[in-house]
């Protein structure tokens, strides 16, 4: 019988070399194939079960994981009736005395196509250009399961002891993770005592260092419809007497938002920013400076022969960071009842409907916010117009727990080893419903919420890309943090 291999200390440089080769030889290919499958989230593909795209990406990812033959890894595609599937994998721990579990998270469902892609790019066409892999879902979040398994493989290659590791990859995240909680309840006996969560679905302030997310905004979504007539009528005959449905809707929005500044007016959508987050935000603002707002694809225009660029709501880096992480906001993301300009005649339209997307500060309760919003918008409508809110849904944000000393040291060591720069800490404006669920279920767990969504990566929009060099280093950094987990 051969003697057991001796446990070795983790070598970051060896891990970087291994995962880089794995990315170049296999992962870029796998993620490119994933991009080409329009596995849109159920909110955007009501017939997802019939179309089969979600099942295809799940089947492909599961087959790839099993083909890696990671020692001790067991994988299962779990399906609860009437819900989107999840991939669950687990590996027994090899670290003596470790009682905690590392939970790795990602998702495989995607946002819809959106418009505005470059002529040579498309949402379902993978293209590698200048170390960037373009295509829908490349960075949000198709890479996650491949990076997670590659990180584990790096640990196994070096025979580095590690705690028990489980993975949970869902297919409903872009629809608010409506199916996730039943799976967590069903799988909870197999999760163990989660001591570290590694969520690979977040962003990065730049591509120069490891970034750990400290907070996430919550969200509300609803369709607001104002109806004044049963059918359209001649605008010359009716305007001035019949109120415009658009004007009524605008009045309703004035109840909740100051249109001159974008400031939200409902107290239930506000919260105090903790002192610790203000201090972290100042450090991050000093690191990123004007890149906090220059990263966006601002519209350029010519005026009197001189080129100009749209201005952000603020050019102060700290204020810019807070506005996208700790302030509530409203965005109109869609509309009904408005014909295309080429089809619009002189008609007073019977109704106007807007799709409203609210971002909530991390500490705001989404249920209370929904109740306040519903009351304010539906009560005492101007002219007694018919006002309806459809599909009102929400998710509460998340504020990271206080970091343990070992965790702070681990992420900083990993950032220095893999990037040559200290770890950065940043709040994100997006929402990951899982984080709130896990914080409630495992209040003592450390949260390594990270990802590849850096400047101009443009998740949800056109020309989404995955920054390959950053993803390689992140993969190695994740392995190093797992190795440091007690």
Q: For the segment 129-162, what is each residue's pLDDT rounded down to a tens digit?
A: 999 999 999 999 999 999 999 999 999 999 999 9
CATH code of the domain in which 252 resides:
3.30.70.360
Residue 8: pLDDT above 70?
no
- Residue 199 belongs to some domain of the structure: yes
- The set of residues, in sequence order, having a beta carbon less than 8 Å from that of 83 and lying 6+ positions away, is 172, 179, 182, 183
Q: Residue 7 pLDDT > 70, yes or no?
A: no
Q: What sign for the dihedral angle of Cα 43, 47, 53, 54?
A: positive
Is 2 or 424 the better-scoring residue by pLDDT? 424
Task: Tell me if 86 is assigned to some domain.
Answer: yes
pLDDT in tens, 359-414: 999 999 999 999 999 999 999 999 999 999 999 999 999 999 999 999 999 999 99
**CA-CA distance, 5 to 427, in Å (whole number)?**
42
Residue 5 lies in a domain: no
Share of the chain above pLDDT 70, in %: 98
Reply yes or no on whether the pLDDT at 442 is more than 80: yes
One domain, residues 105 and 135: yes
Asked if the structure places residue 163 within a domain, the reply is yes
Dihedral of the alpha carbons of 197, 201, 205, 210, in degrees to the nearest 10:
40
Q: Is residue 350 part of a domain?
A: yes
Q: Could you tell me if 184 and 55 lie in one domain?
A: yes
Q: Is residue 67 part of a domain?
A: yes
Do 103 and 199 belong to one domain? yes
Angle in degrees, 0-180, between the axes of helices 405-419 and 12-22, rounded to the nearest 10: 60
Same domain (yes/no): 211, 224: no
- Note whether 323 and 409 are same-domain residues: no
User: Domain limits at 333?
Assistant: 218-395
| Pair 320, 334 in one domain | yes
Does residue 181 share a domain with residue 42? yes
CATH number for the domain spanning 27: value is 3.40.630.10
Q: Are 163 and 98 a contacting pair, CB within 8 Å?
A: yes
**DSSP conformation letters of 7-66:** P----HHHHHHHHHHHIIIIIHHHHHHHHTS--B-TTT-TTHHHH-HHHHHHHHHHHHHH
Report the DSSP beta bridge partners of residue 163: none
Residues 129 and 192 in one domain: yes
Helix, strand, coil shares of the chain as percentages rounded to 5? 35, 25, 40
Indicate the pTM of the whole model. Answer: 0.90
Q: Which of 371, 395, 419 is the last residue of a domain?
A: 395
Q: Which of 395, 411, 445 is the last residue of a domain?
A: 395
Residue 364 · residue 396 · CB < 8 Å: yes
Same domain, 181 and 282: no
Domain annotation covers residue 453: yes
Question: What's the number of domains the chain is made of?
Answer: 2
Within this chain, do residues 188 and 104 fall inside the same structural domain, yes or no? Answer: yes
Domain boundary among 353, 372, 395: 395
User: Partners of 356 in the beta sheet?
Assistant: 222, 332
Q: Are residues 163 and 103 in the same domain?
A: yes
pLDDT 10s digits, 291-315:
999 999 898 887 666 778 889 999 9
**2: in domain:** no
- Stretch (H or E) spanning 307: strand 306-309
Q: Are 254 and 373 found together in one domain?
A: yes
CA distance 258 to 269: 14
């Amino acid at each position: 019988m051969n003697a057991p291999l001796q446990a070795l200390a983790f070598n970051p440089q060896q891990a970087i070399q291994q995962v880089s080769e794995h990315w170049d030889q296999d992962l870029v290919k796998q993620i490119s194939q994933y991009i080409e499958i329009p596995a849109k989230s159920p909110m955007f593909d009501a017939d997802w079960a019939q179309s089969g795209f979600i099942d295809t990406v799940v089947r492909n990812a599961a087959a790839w994981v099993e083909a890696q033959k990671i020692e001790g890894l067991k994988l299962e595609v779990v399906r609860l009736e009437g819900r989107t599937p999840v991939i669950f994998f687990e590996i027994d721990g090899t670290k003596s005395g470790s009682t905690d579990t590392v939970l790795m998270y990602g998702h495989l469902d995607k946002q819809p196509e959106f418009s505005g892609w470059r002529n040579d790019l498309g949402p379902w066409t993978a293209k590698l250009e200048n170390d960037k892999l373009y295509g829908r879902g490349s960075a949000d979040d198709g890479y996650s399961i491949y990076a997670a398994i590659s990180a584990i493989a790096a640990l196994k290659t070096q025979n580095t002891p590690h705690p028990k590791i489980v993975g949970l990859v869902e297919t409903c995240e872009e629809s608010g993770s409506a199916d996730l909680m039943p799976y967590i309840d069903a799988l909870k006996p197999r999760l163990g005592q989660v001591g570290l969560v590694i969520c690979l679905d977040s962003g990065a302030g730049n591509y120069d260092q490891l970034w750990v997310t400290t907070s996430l905004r919550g969200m509300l979504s609803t369709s607001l419809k104002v109806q004044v007539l049963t059918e359209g009528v001649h605008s010359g005959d009716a305007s001035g007497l019949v109120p415009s449905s658009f004007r009524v809707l605008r009045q309703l929005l004035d109840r909740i938002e100051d249109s001159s500044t974008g400031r939200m007016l409902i107290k239930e959508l506000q919260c105090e920013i903790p002192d610790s987050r203000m201090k972290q935000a100042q450090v991050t603002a000093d690191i990123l400076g004007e890149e906090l707002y220059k990263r966006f694809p601002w519209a350029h225009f010519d005026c009197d022969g001189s080129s100009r660029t749209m201005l952000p709501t603020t050019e102060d880096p700290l204020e810019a960071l807070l506005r996208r992480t700790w302030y509530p906001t409203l965005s109109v993301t869609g509309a009904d009842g408005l014909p295309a300009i080429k089809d619009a005649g002189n008609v007073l339209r019977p109704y106007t409907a807007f799709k409203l997307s609210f971002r909530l500060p991390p500490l705001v309760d989404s249920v209370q916010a929904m109740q306040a919003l519903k009351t304010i918008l539906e009560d005492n409508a101007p002219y007694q117009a018919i006002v309806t809110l459809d599909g009102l849904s929400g998710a509460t944000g998340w504020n990271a727990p206080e970091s343990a000393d070992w965790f702070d040291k681990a992420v900083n060591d990993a950032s220095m080893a893999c990037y040559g720069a200290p770890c950065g800490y940043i709040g994100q404006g997006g929402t990951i419903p899982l984080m709130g669920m896990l914080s409630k279920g495992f209040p003592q767990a450390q949260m390594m919420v990270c990802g590849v969504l850096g400047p101009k990566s443009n998740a949800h929009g056109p020309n989404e890309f995955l920054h390959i060099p950053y993803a390689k280093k992140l993969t190695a950094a994740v392995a190093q943090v797992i190795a440091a987990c007690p």
